[in-house]
Amino acid sequence: MNIIPIKAQAGITGFESPAAEYKTLPMTLDEILIDHPTATFVGIADGDSMIGQGIFSGDVLIVDRSAKPTNLDVVVATLNGSFVCKLYDRIGHRLMSGNDLNKTYHLRDGDDFLEEGIVIRSIRNHRQPVKLARCLR
């Protein structure tokens, strides 16, 4: 994999082509993005409840089941039979959205709640990958 060893600015300001500066890294995207391959799965975000955390509908979520839990992690979990992606307040036992339009959910006795893993990274797709679209059908 080739990488440009500069921070590319979002604005076009007329800088020289960095092609001469390419360096080849001895690693794959899997190695860069995934810390624990045997404990990691990929999900797709659906909806707008986590936009405040920078997660938008269609984003790829890299979820690590073996990451060390901390308070207010973004997690993927099952709640009463539905998959959710929320901020998990482990101290207050509640699930919070990254969007003020969604209410906080206070976990109660009797809820069927299982944390599936911690979202360690999300990837924005500016164009839906064809192979990914086929998987989602």
Q: Which residues are catalytic?
A: 49, 86
Among residues 98, 32, 33, 31, the alpha carbon closest in space to that of 62 is found at 33
Helices then strands, each counted (H, E), the chain? 2, 9
Token digits of residue 61? 């979520």
Query: What residues form DSSP beta bridges with 13?
Result: none
Q: Compute the distance between CA of residue 121 and CA of residue 58 in angstroms, rounded to an integer.
A: 14
